[in-house]
Structure 1
Amino acid sequence: MIRFVFRFFGFWILAGGFVALIVDGTRSIAAARLTFTSAADAWSAVSPDTFALARARLTDLSTWAWPDVAAPLLGLPLFVLLCGLGFLLLAIGRARRRSRYEVG
């Protein structure tokens, strides 16, 4: 059951990554140059209050959490972050391969 949940969310997040890739591709064609939407820009456009709250909480948690961990991750293009997370969840939810030597 847990594998199903990981695969379910993995496929949806992977689909979101492909949608973000299509949006970035369309914007790149329209602008006649390569443009990417960072995860931070997308998050702050969707919900600026939660973005500011997360930034404040991570800064309060430790001095290195925001500038050294969260900011570089959120600086990645959105499709890279979503596709990477989707593939990770799919790998976690992958069905276990049975050995041909296993009894039972």
Structure 2
Amino acid sequence: MLCFPVPETGKGSTSRATIAILHGAAYVSHTVVRLPNLSQNEEAMFRVIFRALAFFSLAVAVIMAVIDATRSIAASALTFTPLRESWSSVSPETLNQFQMLIQQHTLPMLWDPVLVSVLNMPGWAVFAALAVLFLALGHRRRRPTFA
């Protein structure tokens, strides 16, 4: 089954087309989903929350990058500290609890191929990517103005 977005049909709505292939025949379904209309105050609140998360993630990324730069200078070689190593040095019990939570309450395959590879990345890169994601979510959309 394939799902893909279709151009909007009206304000506050989004469309979705679904293609299902059963016994060699393709069936197409077009669904219009009404999205909840958020007030300007609610949108502003979510933007502030996402911007604060972006600021915090960027601060952690800079701190971790400075630590890696210091270790690289001391070792006279490029050194990256994996997120797993940083997390286990700060709070090893929460890393173990997080692993158990993911393995017991979600798909166990989510831990090993996906999250293990993220935890093996440099910590500054993971937090920098989170900062960019949160900043994009908190970005204020410009509405066209007509003079």
Q: Same fold (TM over 0.5)?
A: yes
Q: Which amino acid aligns with 1:88?
A: L
1:82: which partner in 2?
Answer: 127
1 or 2, which has the higher helix percentage?
1
| Superposition TM-score, scaled by structure 2 size | 0.65
**Deviation, structure 1 residue 56:** 2.2
Q: Report the alpha carbon displacement of residue 63 of structure 1 after superposing the two structures with TM.
A: 3.2
For residue 27 of structure 1, the aligned residue among 53, 71, 78 is 71
Q: Choose the corresponding residue for 1:56, options 70, 76, 100.
A: 100
1:64-85 Cα offsets, whole Å, 9 max, x none, are 1211111001111000000000
| CA–CA distance in structure 1, aligned partners of residues 121 and 92 of structure 2 | 18
- Equivalenced residue count is 102
Q: Offset of 1:54 from its aligned partner?
A: 1.5
> Shift of residue 12 of structure 1?
1.7
Say whether residues 1:13 and 2:57 are aligned partners: yes
Identity between Structure 1 and Structure 2 (%): 35
What is aligned with 2:14?
Answer: none
Which has the larger strand fraction?
Answer: 2
SS in 2 for 1:4: helix
What TM-score do you get using the length of structure 1 for normalisation? 0.89
- Larger RCO (alpha carbons 8 Å, 6+ apart): 1
Question: Which of 94, 100, 104 is the matching residue for 2:145?
Answer: 100
Q: What's the Cα RMSD here?
A: 1.5
Which one of 62, 69, 80 corresponds to residue 36 of structure 1? Answer: 80
Q: How big is the shift at 1:29?
A: 0.5
Structure 2 residue ranges without an equivalent (≥5): 1-44
The CA deviation at 1:94 is 0.5
Hey, what does 2:118 align to over in structure 1?
73
Return the offset for 1:6: 0.6
Higher deviation after alignment, 74-83 or 4-13:
4-13
Which SS does the other structure have where 1:7 is aligned?
helix
